[in-house]
Amino acid sequence: MLKPFVDRPRRLRRSALIRDMVHEVELNLSQLVQPYFLSTQNNPEAKETISEFSGVYRWGIDSLSREMESQIDRGLSRFLLFGSTDDKDATGSAAVSQNAKVAEAITKLKKRFGDASLLFSDICLCPYTNHGHCGIVRGESIENDASIDLLCRMALTHAEAGVDFVAPSDMMDGRVGAIRQILDQKQFSDVGILAYTAKYKSNYYGPFREALDSAPQKGDRSTYQMDYRNQREALRELQLDLAEGADLVMVKPALAYLDILSLFAKQSTVPVAAYSVSGEYQMVQLAAKAGIADVKSLALENLTAIRRAGADIILTYFAAEIAEKGWLR
Ligand code: PBG
Ligand code: ZN
């Protein structure tokens, strides 16, 4: 008796050799960017733990430099730098001062590693302002255009220090175009812009704000960061950042925003990055601690899902551990 035809997808799941041949999505170290925080202390050997941010530190310049060297040896060569200060003021002037810590670090790291590493620097005022907002505050409002002036100066300082990409994360309107213009004017046309294009007002930023002591003191970020009820608005931000000259566009956070990523993957004319943020990272750490799964499996599943949704590049605090432990080998 002839059996009826049965379509059997399981045939392609039968062995590891078949599965590895037909799998669709790759995760490689070359797609990962590791964020690093600079210590505000003057100790070049600093490596300070952050209580609700497992395995993430605030680094001194020398300890960071050695850390990066080991990572580069393992094939992880792309880094995003964050600074902050203990001398916060209303305009975040430490962000733009000539001897700004981040600029100093960029100079030293570039001197040491040259083209063997790619340096990104976050451009925002919140780690430097005493009110913790990403721009200049006047009364109840965050001043868009006055903030842009400062952000441009900050970006220029980092460009002068030799950064490869500046990454404005403030969500002021028009800052990508303004930064592009000043960089070009000052002969830094090779310095790229990784734009935080669709950055949502999210509850996943907790550990990061502890790391930089950058939480808003009054109010929240809802007049500049995006409302998580919105998808169409992300496309508007995408069009603007592309028109203003972004080289790379980013969605942030990542895991709860895979629909936005997948939209960007279809509509963007430049590569798409995803920032898997501090809260996403710490949730995995805590879940593992609670014994419901292990860090490696959860982290790789999440990052692969972010790639599958359409991210070309992923900023993740797991990059260092992945490289260290050879999880992608
Ligand atoms: C703010 C900024 C934030 C992050 C990077 N830059 C969030 C915020 O405080 O609004 C979050 C990164 C993370 O949580 O890992 N300019
Ligand atoms: Zn900010």
Q: How far apart are CA 210 and CA 212, in angstroms?
A: 6
Using one digit for the tens of pLDDT, what is the confidence trace for 103-122?
Answer: 999 999 999 999 999 999 99
The reply to whether 52 falls in a domain is yes
CA of 201 to the centre of ligand 2 (A): 11
Please write the tens of the pLDDT for every residue from 119-162.
Answer: 999 999 999 999 999 999 999 899 999 999 999 999 999 999 99
Residues with catalytic function: 199, 252
Residue nearest to atom 2 of ligand 1 (CA): 169
Domain assignment present for residue 120? The answer is yes
Task: Output the pLDDT for position 3.
Answer: 83
pTM (whole model) above 0.75: yes
pLDDT of residue 102: 96
Number of domains in the chain: 1
Q: Burial, 314: exposed, middle or buried (Cβ in 10 Å; 0-12, 13-18, 19+)?
A: buried
Domain assignment of residue 23, yes or no: no
Confirm whether 295 is domain-assigned: yes
Percent of the chain with pLDDT over 90: 96
Q: Indicate which ligand has the atom closest to the C-alpha of 199.
A: 1
Residue whose CA is at the smallest distance from ligand 1 atom 5:
169
| Residue among 208, 280, 306 to mutate when testing ligand 1 (max atoms within 8 A of CB) | 208
Chain mean pLDDT for the chain:
97
Beta-bridged to residue 36, according to DSSP, are: 81
User: 303 with 25: CB under 8 angstroms?
Assistant: no
Given the DSSP bridges, would you call strands 313-316 and 136-138 parallel, antiparallel or unpaired? unpaired
Q: Is residue 242 part of a domain?
A: yes
Asked whether residue 279 is domain-assigned, the answer is yes
Q: Which ligand has the nearest atom to the CA of 169?
A: 1
Could you tell me if residue 14 is inside a domain? no
**Ligand 1 pocket residues where CB is under 6 Å:** 122, 124, 126, 134, 169-170, 205, 208-209, 214, 221, 277-278
> What is the structure's pLDDT at 301?
98
Nearest CA, atom 7, ligand 1: 205
In a domain, 146, yes or no: yes
Ligand 1 atom at minimum distance from 278 CA: 15
Query: 171: CA distance to ligand 1 center in Å?
Result: 11
Which residues on adjacent β-strands are paired with residue 59?
Answer: 38, 47
Q: Tell me: pLDDT of 315 over 80.
A: yes
- How remote is the CA of residue 253 from the centroid of ligand 1, in Å? 9
Give the C-alpha separation, 51 to 31, whole Å.
28
Q: Is the pLDDT of residue 306 over 80?
A: yes
Which residue's alpha carbon is nearest to atom 8 within ligand 1?
205
Q: What is the pLDDT of residues 207-265, one digit of tens each?
A: 999 999 999 999 999 999 999 999 999 999 999 999 999 999 999 999 999 999 999 99
Q: Give the tokens for residue 177.
A: 């175009």
| CA of 38 relative to ligand 2 center, distance in Å | 16
Q: 205 C-alpha vs ligand 1 centroid, how far in Å?
A: 6
pLDDT greater than 80 at residue 99: no
pLDDT score of 98: 67
- Residue 265: other Cβ atoms inside 10 A: 17
Ligand 1 atom 10, closest CA: 205
Q: Which ligand is nearest to the CA of 222?
A: 1
Residue 303's H or E segment, with its range, is helix 295-309
- Residue ranges making up the domain that contains 229: 28-325
Report the CATH number at residue 111: 3.20.20.70
Which tens digit of pLDDT belongs to each residue from 3-48?
A: 889 999 999 999 999 999 999 999 999 999 999 999 999 999 999 9
**Residue to mutate (ligand 1; options 102, 126, 166, 175; most atoms within 8 A of CB):** 126
